[in-house]
Each structure stands twice: as C-alpha cells, then as structure tokens.
C-alpha cells in the first residue's frame, strides 16, 4: 500500500481501478516541400483548421448539455485560438518562408506559444498550456488521420492516471466508466480541475510522479478531499474510504444550501466574501457560488494572448463584461502585473537574470507609461457604469504609490478634456505583498483608500521561498510567525486609518488560515470561486472572539510547524462541520 500526494481540486472519495493514459504529446519531424507544394500545404492547413473548428463547436455544444455553459466556455478559447489572425499568419508564414509541411509548421508555432505560457509563473497562464496542446493535437489529428490515445478501453470504476489531461480528453470521458482523475501536473485553476468539478469527478492533480507509481488494473482509493491517492489499499482502508465518501457527498449537498446565505459570523459580524478571477466569464461562477463581488481581477491575460499591447477598447470591453455580470456588485481591478515572465523578458534586449526581483509589476508599468495609461483610462471609463476600484500590485515604497496615483489623475484630466465621464471618487488601493509595504502600512494607510494583502507573494518574499520550486516548496508556509505578524500589523494600520483591508491570496481560501485572518482583523476575504462555499460555512460557524483567541495563540508561537498544527487542530475542534468534506482520512 502506497500513498501519492497531490492537490485536491474536485471533491469526493472513491475506490476504483487504475487506467494509465499515455502522454498525448509527440514529436513531428521537420520535412521540407518543393516550392510547387507550398500552396498545397497551405490548403491542408486551412482544411485542418476548419475541420477542427467544426469538431470543437460540436464538443462545445455537447459540453454545455452535460457540464453547463460556464465549464463549456473553455472550448470557446479553442475556437478563438484557431481563428486568431496572429496564429494563422505565423503558421502560414512558416509554411511559405521555410517551405515545410503543414504539420511541422503547426507543431513549431504551437511549441512557441506553449513555451510562452508555460514560462509565466502565474498558474493561471500555465493552465493554458493544456489548451494549446489540445488544439495542436486536434490539428495534427486532422492532418495525419491518427488518434493519440484510445479512451474506449476503460471499464466501469476507472480511475484515470495521466501526466496531464487536455480539456478534450477530460470532456470525452464516459461518466458511466470514469469515477476519478489523478494527474502528475496541474493546479487548482487548471482546466482539468475546472472540468472535473463541472463533471463532479473527484480529482487530484499535481501529484508529480503518479504515473510512475501505478500500473493498469491496480485498486486505488482517490481521496480528493485531502489530495491523496492510495494504491493497493488494504480492506480496512477500503472500508474507511467508503464511509468517507458518504460523508463527503453529504458535505457537498450542505454547501450548496449556503449559496444564498450571508457570510455572517456566529456573533453577527458581516464578512465580505469576494472572488478572484482571470477572465470575465468567471464572474458567473463567483456569483453562483454566493460571492459578493470580485476582489481581484487579474488583467495579465489581455497581454499574454496577443502579440500586440491591448488597446484601450480591448481593456474597456473586458472590464465592461465583468461589470455587466456583477449588476451593482464591486469590481476591483488589479493593474497589470508583468515583468517576471517570458512575455516581457523576450522584449528586453538583455533579459534580467532574476526578473522576480527586477523590473516587474508596478515598476514595469511606471517605465512603460503609454501602456499603463491605456489601462488606467479604460478602468476610469468603466467606473462611470458601476462600482469599480483600482488596485496597484507589488508596491514597495511611498514614492511608487504616489507616482501611480499621479498617473491616474493625469488620465482623469485627459478624460475631463475629452468630456468622457468617470467616477471622480474612484477608490485607489494597493496590494500589500512585500515586507516593506507591510512595515510601512501606517504611512501607506494615509495615502491609500484600501489594502489587499496578497499572501502568495508576501509569504514568498518574506521567507525567500519560491513556491513553484519543489525543492523548497515545503518551506512556503503562510502560518509562519513572521508572515502572521506582518498581516496583523497591516490590519491594525488599516483599522486605525479607517480604511478597508482584505486578503486575496490563496491562503484566504484555506479554512484554517481564514479563521486566523478573521482573528487578525481582516473582514474581507477574496478567494477562488470553488472556495467560497466552504469558507462561508466556516465564517457562519465561528465568532470573532473565537477567531481572535486563535490568532493570539498562533502568533505567539515561534515555529511555523507548531502554528500550522495549532490552527489545524483548533479550528477542527471548534467547527468540525466546516471540515466534514476536507478532513476525511481513509488511513485512520
């Protein structure tokens, strides 16, 4: 019996039989063609592209019926990519200039796109890698007339174990046969995770080497509440897994009942529960899960999907789409956080050796004023139509914040001259993501309209730990006393200045840490849509005095290990019902 650890992304506990799905990627050899064959290769590409679009449209309609419109929108990205003029231009240029086959041109161009998205540290953009691989594979299937994987061999009770899954593969699974998914790669926002949740398939992703540890036909328990898979379990483990599965199913039903309930603590304190998004389409999911608005709209995707800097119209349309869906609920737009990615590094004559400590985020914007002011103008214009707030990322000094605010006022003056309406009192806030900002919080509180604590970077920069580096990832711990003390000080500074403070990092979506945040004085949490119901359950189960006692004890401990253990044990004792679907343990 061996246990494989990963990331839980779609709830449930099941017992099944392993089916290892082979890696779908393959190498396409470079083959040149005679000059008189170039037009023929261009025609092959056009025909393959049109056929692929027809197939994806059919898949999209089928996915809408089975999974709902929101999850099915993933396939609209595929159609959009295939219709993208830049993609088509590059493939056709490759065929014409290099005189290569259509399949090699497609493979080469998509490899470049995959490298671009894969190099971005933000997992949101890394998730697009599987989309691009899926589109590339579909085009090559059209050209070469072959399927990479056979999905028909699966029997009832199958647990699919794969290095990664494309959206098409996941959507094609027979729900009468496939009962769970385990993958080596992926994260909480990967499309495997999104589709697995839409299909109600328990899933564990990011298991690193699961495909090396299992064989076809083995019995496996997938505990997608804790993020583990147990291979060749004994009878006791199987029985405990059955009972855990029943509890998890009951827990999910209870969460759905909370959607329309307010996020109010047991002693009557209203907590604002917002959602984090990357795309306008995700607003619907946040609202469906009971969110009060959008606390973090990341805007980098507008840049990474285009070879050109997005226009003011592109920005305006994206923000308007969000605002229209929110129907009066707040929208907090984080200005673009570029710099530590391949997009900007490729545009540097001399790439930076350590871009995460270099010209990134607000620093990058302040040195690319045309691009920055284009975004600011669009945000201001949208603010005339609903409650919008501007949030600057990775502020490290008062000077940076003042410079950024000055550019907002410059954009306001330009709009005044043009007679364009906007909210003249639009709130302007900042993310607290580095120790310098946390330490200077009292000074920033006199200048900012609100704070949003970004635990992802705050933990990373405080502890000098790259959370994407598996060698040091265990050291990444938001419960570290140094981090919690910084959060406490930021909350205190905000309270004294009477400005709102929220937390929008991933840690806010963990029940243990959410209780700590409430105890430290944070009254707004912004989390991924899937985390809204369980965090609401926690909020409604605890009182603020209980949270304050938890925070006081946790912050007094000098060891992050002790603090984590205390938070885990204490919150589970106080509100076990908030963990019914997360604390199952088939091993005991």
Residue of 118, 188, 191 whose CA lies nearest to 341: 118
Catalytic entry in 136, 365, 504, 547: 504
3-state secondary structure 204-267: EECCCCHHHHCCCCCEEEEECCCCEEEECCCHHHHHHHHHHHHHHHHHHHHHHCCCCCCCECCC
DSSP secondary structure string for all residues of 89-107: HHHHHHHHHH-B-HHHHHH
DSSP secondary structure string for all residues of 371-408: HHHHHHHHHHHHGGGS-EEEEESS--SHHHHHHHHHHH
Contact 334, 296 (CB under 8 A): yes
The owner of tokens 């994806």 is 56
Catalytic entry in 78, 191, 315, 480: 191
Which tokens in the block code for residue 111?
Answer: 């490899």
3-state secondary structure 121-147: CCHHHHCHHHHHHHHHHHHHHHHHCCC
Distances (CA, A) of 225 to 288, 506, 530, 570, 575: 21, 17, 13, 19, 17
Residue of 499, 510, 533, 503 whose CA lies nearest to 296: 503
Residue of 252, 240, 195, 235 whose CA lies nearest to 78: 195
Q: Is 180 exposed, middle or buried (0-12, 13-18, 19+ CB in 10 A)?
A: buried
The CA-based angle 297-298-301, given to 5 degrees, is: 130
Q: 230 forms bridges with which residues in the sheet? A: 3, 221
The CA-based angle 87-89-94, given to 5 degrees, is: 95
Question: Rounded distance, CA 395 to CA 583, Å?
Answer: 37
Q: How many residues does the chain have?
A: 588
Cβ atoms within 10 A of the Cβ of 69, count? 12
User: What is the pairing mode between strands 228-231 and 294-297?
Assistant: unpaired
Question: Rounded distance, CA 587 to CA 234, Å?
Answer: 10
Question: Rounded distance, CA 163 to CA 334, Å?
Answer: 33
Question: Rounded distance, CA 191 to CA 187, Å?
Answer: 9
Question: Rounded distance, CA 207 to CA 185, Å?
Answer: 7
Whether 504 is a known active-site residue: answer yes
Question: Rounded distance, CA 491 to CA 503, Å?
Answer: 10
Which tokens in the block code for residue 413?
Answer: 């003056």
Which tokens in the block code for residue 505?
Answer: 């990092």
Q: Cα 440 to the chain's mean position, in Å? A: 29
The owner of tokens 């607003």 is 283
> Which sign, positive or negative, has the C-alpha torsion 525, 530, 536, 542?
negative
| Residues with a known catalytic role | 191, 504
């Amino acid at each position: 019996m061996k246990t494989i650890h990963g990331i839980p992304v779609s709830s449930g506990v099941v017992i099944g039989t392993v089916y290892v799905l082979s890696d779908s990627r393959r190498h396409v050899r470079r083959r040149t063609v005679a000059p008189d064959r170039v037009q023929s290769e261009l025609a092959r590409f056009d025909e393959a592209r049109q056929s692929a679009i027809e197939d994806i449209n059919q898949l999209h309609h089928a996915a809408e019926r089975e999974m709902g419109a929101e999850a099915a929108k993933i396939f609209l990205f595929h159609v959009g990519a295939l219709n993208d003029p830049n993609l088509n231009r590059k493939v056709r240029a490759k065929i014409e200039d290099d005189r290569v086959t259509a399949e090699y041109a497609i493979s080469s161009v998509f490899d470049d796109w995959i490298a671009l998205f894969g190099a971005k540290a933000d997992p949101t953009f890394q998730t697009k890698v599987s989309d691009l691989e899926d589109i590339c594979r579909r085009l090559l299937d059209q050209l070469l007339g072959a399927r990479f994987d056979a999905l028909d061999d699966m029997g009832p009770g199958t647990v699919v174990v794969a290095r990664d899954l494309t959206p098409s593969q996941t959507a094609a699974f027979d729900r009468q046969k496939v009962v769970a998914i385990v993958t080596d790669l992926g994260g909480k926002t990967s499309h495997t995770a999104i589709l697995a949740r839409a299909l109600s398939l328990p899933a564990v992703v990011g298991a690193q080497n699961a495909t090396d540890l299992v064989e076809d036909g083995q019995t496996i328990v997938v505990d997608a509440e804790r993020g583990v898979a147990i291979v060749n379990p004994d009878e006791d483990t199987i029985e405990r897994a059955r009972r855990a599965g029943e509890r998890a199913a009951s827990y999910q039903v209870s969460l759905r009942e909370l959607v329309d309930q307010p996020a109010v603590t047991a002693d009557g304190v209203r907590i604002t529960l917002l959602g984090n998004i990357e795309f306008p389409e995700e607003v619907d999911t946040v609202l469906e899960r009971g969110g009060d608005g959008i606390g973090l709209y990341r805007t980098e995707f507008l840049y990474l999907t285009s070879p050109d800097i997005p226009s003011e119209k592109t920005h305006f349309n994206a923000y308007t789409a969000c605002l229209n869906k929110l129907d009066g609920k707040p929208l907090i737009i984080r200005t673009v956080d570029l710099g530590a990615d391949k997009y900007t590094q490729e545009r540097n004559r001399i790439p930076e050796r350590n871009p995460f400590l270099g010209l990134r985020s607000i620093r990058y914007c302040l040195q690319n004023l045309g691009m920055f002011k284009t975004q600011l103008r669009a945000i201001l214009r949208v603010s005339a139509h609903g409650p919008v707030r501007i949030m600057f990322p990775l502020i490290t000094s008062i000077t940076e914040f003042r410079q950024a605010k000055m550019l907002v006022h410059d954009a306001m003056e330009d709009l005044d001259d043009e007679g364009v309406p906007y909210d003249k009192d639009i709130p302007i806030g900042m993310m607290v993501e580095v120790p310098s900002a946390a330490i200077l919080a009292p000074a920033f509180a006199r200048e900012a309209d609100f704070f949003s604590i970004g635990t992802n970077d705050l933990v990373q920069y405080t502890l000098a730990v790259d959370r994407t580096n598996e060698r040091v990832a265990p050291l990444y711990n938001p419960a570290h006393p140094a981090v919690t003390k910084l959060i406490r000080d930021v909350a205190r500074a905000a309270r004294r200045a009477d400005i709102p403070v929220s937390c929008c990092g991933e840690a806010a979506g963990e029940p243990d840490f959410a209780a700590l945040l409430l105890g430290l004085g944070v009254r707004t949490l912004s989390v991924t849509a899937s985390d809204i119901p369980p965090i609401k359950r926690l909020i409604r189960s605890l009182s603020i005095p209980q949270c304050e006692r938890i925070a006081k004890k946790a912050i007094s401990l000098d060891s992050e290990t002790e603090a984590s253990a205390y938070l885990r044990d204490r919150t589970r004792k106080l509100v076990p019902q908030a963990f019914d679907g997360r604390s199952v343990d088939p091993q005991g």
